[in-house]
Structure 1
Amino acid sequence: MSLNVHEVFVVDSAGVTTIERKERPPTVRLWDENWNFITEVRSGWRIDSPETIVLPWSDPAAKWLWDTTRVKSLVHLVVDYPGGRRKSGWMVRCELVDGSPVAFLRAEFNEWSRNW
């Protein structure tokens, strides 16, 4: 089995267990300007738009990003793909959007390094 897949055990309504192979999702992490680890982004990131994260305002990472942007500090995004590939970049835009009834934060990153 390849390192970029993992096995998922699925039990159907008749009690029959099968094994499905799923591709591992990338690991997405935020770092501050001194490369201190802040948090792993578990939702709000899409593989088809890797330079953008969208977080609900209730997420502590959203509030950290907003506060960090207001003091003009650098924020790094690192995406580790299965198989050892990596993309990284720094935040270039951060906006708070009032998407009534739920506010959310959209942060965009500029890709600067790719290890394919």
Structure 2
Amino acid sequence: MASMKEGVKEIIEADDAAWDAVANAQAEAARIKAEAQRQAEEIAASQEARLAEAIAGEVQTVLIEAQSKAQHARSDADHYLDRLRTRKEEVHNDLVDKLLRMVTGQ
């Protein structure tokens, strides 16, 4: 009987130890999972920051290029308007000269 009590006691102790081991393993798994989640979020945030930097650089390059093209287009438009004004003055002066000749008979 004492031997049986000893056997039951050993089984209970082994069961308690197993439950403790399971609880410890669950706690360790939760800790590992939390650490992995933290690292994943840290990596994601770092990658997002790097992506934002890369995008900002590309956007800046595109904006500079667009601004340069816009300035070039504006310069071309200004030259075109200057030529139109010059041509308008020439035509106007020619017409005035022709009208004066017609009026004066020269």
Task: Select the structure that is richer in helix.
Answer: 2
TM-score (norm 1): 0.15
**Higher Rg:** 2
TM-score (norm 2): 0.16
User: Per chain length, whose mean CA-contact separation is higher, i.e. which structure has more relative contact order (CA < 8 Å, sep 6+)?
Assistant: 1
